[in-house]
Chain A
Amino acid sequence: MQGTPFPEWRLHMEIVSNPLFGVVLSILTFWFAKWIGGKLKWSVLNPLLLAIIFCIVILKVFQIPLESYQVGGDMISMFLGPATAVLAYSIYRQFALLKKYLIPVVCGCLAGSITSMLSAWILCDLFGLDESLKASMLPKSVTTPIAIGISEQLGGIPSVTVAIVIVTGILGSVLCPVLLKIFRIQNSIAAGIAIGTCSHAVGTTKAVELGEVEGAMSGIAIGVSGILTVLLSLLL
């Protein structure tokens, strides 16, 4: 019989509906995902992507409703705003470098951001995707906190945007080194800006491996492209 209050079931519900449940599950899955990533050193094993998959699998297997998880999950999501705001701190840390190459950096990020949004727009129309998916796709190249903000403003689905942004980042860290070779881009500034503009923080970890200038430029491009994409989305 459904809903029978047998003791084990009540205990299960007590634990699962506690705000700490969502927090603990998130921390444990992220911890485990990072541990696996560290062992295998495979760029496809992004810790965020893995943690999301583990959480979903656990919720499904134990038939825990999403609302129960989100009681604690909402507490974690509260940190999204502050986590975005502190990007200012990392932009400011690179301020001297940004000032020195201001014009090429802004031009490159602008060209990249326009290309990203325009090509996503055209391709979504071409493949006949609906408006909410299109809005979720438009901010795909920028860093997750900014992308979520844009997606919400445009009427997209934030969780779909999160998934697309992570997949884009992973694709970038795999494809960018190949693209650099094929198109013979030897200029470190151009390489760093291109990586940061098309694949945000996940790609930046790859750029850091390529060199110090590449890493710093990629980091700058995350902030500059993020800001430019927000401004561009206002025009839509």
Chain B
Amino acid sequence: MTEQHNGSIIPIEIGALLPETDALRSAGWRLVQVLCVGSADGAELSYSFGLDLEMRSLRVTVPAETPLPSVTAIYPGAFLYENEIRDLFGVRIERIAGDWEGKVYDVAMGKLFSKVSIKAISSEDPGAATGGAASMGGAL
């Protein structure tokens, strides 16, 4: 039963993250969670995917200051995890669709009611949109 909970954990290189994730998405897996464990010299991210009851995790080790591509183009719902991980762990995740600019948990009081520029959201070109809602719709 433990096996069923844990699933398999597959270590991969940073470069293989997007192709592997894309392959899983095509095979019908859903994103279960993104987990980050910090360490002195960087961080270790585990992307867990689920298909029915099976769970599979891709594990990437990211040295400090190394950029990591965002998986939001494949799984748009990942933006919350990635924003959180960037804010709490300082992992440099790049090109998140729905970038909260470091304000998931710590909102600058000057912008209490707004995080993303309104102009960008309402823009007609979906490519220019940085808001979670707008770009998520595009990616679906």
Report if A and B associate in a common complex: no
